[in-house]
Amino acid sequence: MYSLNDKIKNLQPYEPVEENYRIRLDANESFLALPEGMISEIGTELKNVVLNRYPDPTARELCKAFAELYALPVECVVAGNGSDELISVIMSGFLKKGEKYATLEPDFSMYSFYGNICEAEHIRIEKNADLQIDIDTSINLCKNNDVKLLIFSNPCNPTSLGVSKAEVKKLLLALPETLIALDEAYMEFWHESMVDELSNYSNLIILKTCSKAFGLAGIRLGFAASSKQIIDAIKAVKSPYNVNSLTQAVGRVVLSHKDEISKAIGKLLASANELHDGMIKLAEKSGTWKILDGHTNFVSVLMPNAENFLSYMQSSGVSIRYTCGLIRITCGTAEENKEVLRLAEEYLA
Ligand SMILES: *Cc1c(COP(=O)(O)O)cnc(C)c1O
């Protein structure tokens, strides 16, 4: 009789949140729809997509648009079917079976998920009690364990906290033989990106996603930026037609509208600040809640009995996340934020 192997037999399929919430603030998506003008431009582009042919395997025009946006050489960029796919490709390509990779916990759960699949050994480095990264401890543990790949998000999901460029540089310089995959999924909401420093380090890969600040979670699109040598290796490891033609067309249009992108990020930031400030006031009232001082489009909260708060919100029709001991609320429209704050106040009362 056939039986599943050890690494997959206890895995559970990813369970998305059910659809019946009136307000969805659980996945850090953008709450903004694309502007009308862009939608019609996308319509025109989609009509010209040749559906009976395979997509461009290197997504050249799409990568060009991305490279221009970030002032990078196009040969230093590769596109993926979401940055999730790139995480998977990087971990399975750059780690051999049994080799060690490190994460800085708590962090994005997909890192250990893909590490497990490629049978690498996971070194879990705990963050400080205040949930900040301890750079010196991280360096020492990576060195002592011969860690081949260190992957972390900055700013971090789920903590919302960020680590400065100076600290990231310290890591890169202290671990020249470790590949450092820096997941900047939320860096559009902060200003400590390492993109402009990429050419100074041979051990740095930066990951970007279109699912958050760019408002394109539905098309599954992400990018990796690194040296030409590393990008060529990723291109060789990935499946050839990983980004479909429809996604390439939509991505090309959206990424070429720099001004619209900045405008959208401005709106998302304003919403995040509004939610953050409202939660700070409630935290003062509560005496026990702690709002983390974040740099993302979500607000992370430490509170006693977080499960109760989670079920209170859910039973009121609002979907949020409770993960790694943190309540995580994605910012939404003005009305959605208001409703969340009203319910949170009601819960406190
Ligand atoms: C959302 C998220 C991603 C996933 O991005 P996709 O491009 O949608 O796969 C990657 N990393 C972090 C830290 C995220 O929060």
Distance, CA 129 to ligand 1 centroid (Å)?
Answer: 25
> Sorting pLDDT into bands at 50, 70 and 90, what band is 17?
confident
For residue 328, what are the β-bridge partners?
Answer: 300, 321
Whether omega before 176 lies within 30 degrees of 0, making that bond cis, reads: no
Distance, CA 221 to ligand 1 centroid (Å)?
Answer: 10
Distance, CA 57 to ligand 1 centroid (Å)?
Answer: 22
What is the number of the ligand 1 atom nearest to the C-alpha of 83?
7
Q: Which residues have C-beta atoms less than 6 Å from ligand 1?
A: 28, 82-84, 108, 153, 157, 183, 185, 209, 211-212, 217, 222
d(CA 53, CA 32): 32
How many alpha carbons lie under 13 Å from residue 67 in its C-beta half-sphere?
18
What is the number of the ligand 1 atom nearest to the C-alpha of 84?
9
Residue to mutate, 111, 211, 255, ligand 1, most ligand atoms under 8 Å from C-beta:
211
Give residue 122's identity as a one-letter amino acid code: H
Mean pLDDT over 12-19 rounds to 78
* Phi and psi at residue 205, to the nearest 5°: -120, 130
> Sorting pLDDT into bands at 50, 70 and 90, what band is 20?
confident
Q: Which residue is closest in CA terms to ligand 1's atom 11?
A: 185
pLDDT at 270: 98
Mean pLDDT over 127-144 rounds to 97
d(CA 179, CA 176): 8
Q: Which residue is closest in CA terms to ligand 1's atom 5?
A: 83
- CB-count exposure of residue 2 (10 Å: 0-12, 13-18, 19+): exposed
3-state secondary structure 151-209: EEECCCCCCCCCCCHHHHHHHHHHCCCCEEEEECCCHHHCCCCCHHHHHHCCCEEEEEE
DSSP assignment of 43-98: HHHHHT--TTSPPPTT-HHHHHHHHHHTT--GGGEEEESHHHHHHHHHHHHH--TT
Q: Which residue is closest in CA terms to ligand 1's atom 15?
A: 157
Q: 3-state class of 330 per DSSP? A: strand
Residue to mutate, 66, 109, 157, 296, ligand 1, most ligand atoms under 8 Å from C-beta:
157
Distance, CA 257 to ligand 1 centroid (Å)?
Answer: 22
d(CA 228, CA 77): 8
What is the number of the ligand 1 atom nearest to the C-alpha of 80?
7
Distance, CA 52 to ligand 1 centroid (Å)?
Answer: 30
d(CA 51, CA 244): 10
Alpha carbon distances (Å) from 46 to 40, 219, 228, 232, 245: 10, 13, 31, 29, 9
β-bridge pairing 77-80 and 100-105: unpaired
pLDDT at 14: 82
d(CA 71, CA 256): 13
| Residue 274 CB neighbour total at 10 angstroms | 16
Distance, CA 47 to ligand 1 centroid (Å)?
Answer: 29
The 10s digit of each residue's pLDDT in 268-323 is 999 999 999 999 999 999 999 999 999 999 999 999 999 999 999 999 999 999 99
d(CA 87, CA 217): 16
What is the number of the ligand 1 atom nearest to the C-alpha of 222?
7
The 10s digit of each residue's pLDDT in 45-101 is 999 999 999 999 999 999 999 999 999 999 999 999 999 999 999 999 999 999 999
d(CA 343, CA 337): 10
Tell the residue number behind the tokens 């489009």, with chain if given. 297
Mean pLDDT over 149-155 rounds to 98
Structure tokens at 348: 């406190």
β-bridge pairing 204-209 and 179-183: parallel
Question: What pTM does this model have?
Answer: 0.97
Alpha carbon distances (Å) from 89 to 36, 80, 255: 35, 9, 23
Distance, CA 1 to ligand 1 centroid (Å)?
Answer: 38
